[in-house]
Amino acid sequence: MHTTDEEKALRDDEWSPLPLVSAQSEAARYPTAALGPLATVTKELASGLQIPIEQVAQTVLAVTSLAIQGRIDVKTPIGLIYPLSLYMITVVGPGSRSNLLDKIVFSSVRKVEAKRKNKLTEYYSIQNSDDNELNCRDKERKELGCYSITSDFLPEELFRNFEYLPKSLIYTSNNAGQLFGSVSGKSKQAPKFSAYLEKLWDGENVFLTHGTTAQVVQGKRLTIAAVVDEKFAPDVLNVERSTAPNLLARSLVAWPESLVGKRVIGDFDPAAVDSLREFNERISNLLSEDTHRSSLEDSISPRDLLVYSPNAAKKLREFTQNVEKHLNSDSYFGSIAAFASNAGEHISKIAGLLSIYEDPATFEISENNLNNALLLFRYYSTELRRMQEKIKIDEEISNASLLLSWLKEQSIKRFNKGEPEFIPYRFILQYAHPKLRLKSRLDNALGILEDHRWIDWKNRRAFADGNYIILRERQD
């Protein structure tokens, strides 16, 4: 019987397997306006450099955190005190222009650092006037006398030389796995480093040991600006399997959509951008006027703390109480409960930074700056939830693809041996790839393959003789 093209197309559609690809979940829109006084410079840099707005915002917030964290701490409505230090993690792919972005946004920091280096060079020259050259230790001190510490110094080296560093620091890394001890960047000291970071997050003293000697580091403030390659993001950002879950719960993560292939090349001169010039001037002034006294001192004055206005305090309490109601595993924040449980701290840090940048002399967080911080927290929490879903789906699709390849190999072997085409479930569970020999994981992979029309799964009764898999063949 003759089959029309239309009938054949319908039949092909019914029987043709569907590609095993992850559904692309749409990223949340970044609330740029919520950056308040930082919104204009962020938008103009993103537009001029053709870089995702989220990526620019991450860097701008990180530099702002560096400039402000040494000046003042924030006090939450329930009496907890935290430094205004942010931990920023940004996922990027090839051609992200992250180095160019850092060069421009950090320009004011580099100028202040240059002045510090000159002073240190002069100091060590005087201290070592009888020597032909500085000894190794002094060279190390001079190099480390900077606000910005790169990943050239491993985490353990950073803390080993903490006493020679300014009290306000930023640690930049192109390999966030270095911080988390992930497969993409293992560090034997990663767990210890994470513990140190948690203490800094809470504004506590850090106790360091070197052999038989011990040291107490007081009043240090540390911002983190880390980049993770998108290839390693599932490893680094998986909440369930993270090697540093507390650190991840205290980080603001963004995974922007790449603009590579969509960029319009045009003229852009950063020196001509008024908002960038104003930003650089403000950052330089904030760093130069760093007058913070540790909040841990007994003699601390109330003016060393940034507090909430009455209306803002009430609103934050209501918001965090609402978050608390949705932290159960089956609730909205279930997959990111640890991050969401820190809502008050995240919001307070962001609101505090916006308040001080807007008015360095203020000691109060207004309701307007709180509203902006709430919008930014909603973005970061929504994105972290989306990432967990994406990571889970990608892993499930990967398992299904792995199983499909194995099933195809087995089907060919059985055909060549003249054996029946079906493959018993029990055989699959016993001999498939080791990562698929967990029943729940295997069942999930088989379900995906069946939904995508690659297999027929007959009689799903586990271990029953009639439970078997048949690879579907396209019928023309």
Question: Of 31-35, 164-168, 298-302, where does the model show the most confidence?
Answer: 31-35
380 with 252: CB under 8 angstroms?
yes
pLDDT of residue 136: 39
pLDDT > 90: what percent of the chain? 45
pLDDT for position 459: 74
Checking if the pLDDT of 93 tops 60, the result is yes
> Which tens digits make up the pLDDT trace of 258-273?
888 888 878 899 999 9
pLDDT averaged over every residue in the chain: 82
Calpha distance 268→121 (Å, rounded) = 36
Higher-scoring residue by pLDDT: 378, 166: 378
- What is the per-residue pLDDT for 155? 57
260 in Cβ contact with 95 (< 8 Å): yes
pLDDT, position 289: 67
Structure tokens at 465: 């003789």
Determine the Cα–Cα distance for residues 429 and 441; give it in Å rounded to an integer: 10
What is the C-alpha to C-alpha distance for residues 307 and 80, in angstroms, rounded to an integer?
A: 11
Whether pLDDT at 383 is above 50: yes
Per-residue pLDDT of 134-164, as tens digits, reads 443 444 454 555 777 766 666 556 666 666 6
How high is the pLDDT of residue 465?
Answer: 60
Higher pLDDT, residue 258 or 46: 46
Most confident of 5-14, 82-91, 163-172: 82-91
CB neighbour list of residue 347: distance below 8 Å, 6 or more residues apart: 316, 319, 320, 370, 373, 374, 377
Encode pLDDT of 398-423 as tens digits. Answer: 899 999 999 999 989 988 888 888 89
For residue range 176-226, list pLDDT tens digits in order: 766 665 434 444 555 666 777 777 777 777 777 766 667 777 778 889 999
pTM of the model: 0.81
Q: For residues 471 and 454, is the Cβ–Cβ distance under 8 A?
A: yes
* 166 vs 186: which has the higher pLDDT: 166
Per mean pLDDT, which of 21-35, 104-118, 255-269, 314-328 is the most reliable?
Answer: 314-328
